[in-house]
Homo-oligomer: A and B are copies of this chain.
């Protein structure tokens, strides 16, 4: 359930809400009980080791009007000052958390590179959603064909180049986990939990650099701790169940 009516921004409280964003005490991430666009935000919170929890809507159709864009994920950030700021839009949520937890490199250029890679991996997942998941039944096969022969191979080839440039150590930048590593790994987890996963993963799994990156993220001690728990496993299974028939869930 939405804890507060977050449909309206609270611009006349912007000073106090900026303080809450600067000095957060606890976090609540609201999303469906699946991975998809909530996965990276939860991974970041788990990595941060902060006071956080996940919430799901009890009745999304009844509650979505209380959100800024009738969309999730949302991140509720309660500051040390007791005020709660709401962030919407995955890119805003993920940049905020990544900055907080030191996952954006050590200078402005590194931060820009990490954000470019992050954006590219969010885009390939969105492209799949448009071409296949939410496409009309009669157009899905064609959409999948274009995705697997053009969009996905281009994404893989370009990201392999950047991973090769860094010595193929499972990271894009140096030997440190970054927002880009986590976001790309989650694009792969998304592909691995789709009805079309056999076709998608046959292609992804030919890329040694991407396999290495996916494994490196999954083996990070903080990720092992979080992803081996029942909550994460529930989201993983939830992803498979949702995307088996996405229109049924949204009706």
Contact = CB atoms under 8 A, between A and B. Distances in A.
Contacts of A203: none
B18 A109 contact: yes
Interface stretch (A6-14, A25-33, A230-238): A6-14
A246 interface: no
Interface residues of A, number: 57
A135 B138 contact: no
A87 to B, nearest CB: 6
Contacts of A91: 91, 115, 119
A166 interface: yes
B85 A158 contact: no
Interface string A1-41: 00000011101011101100110000000000000000000
B113 A9 contact: yes
Contacts of A15: 107, 109
Task: Name, among A113, A120, A129, A139, the residue most crowded by chain B CB atoms within 10 Å (CB to CB).
Answer: A113
Given A14-B106, A92-B115, A127-B130, 6 more contacts: A8-B162, A9-B162, A11-B173, A14-B109, A17-B109, A139-B143
Contacts of A53: none
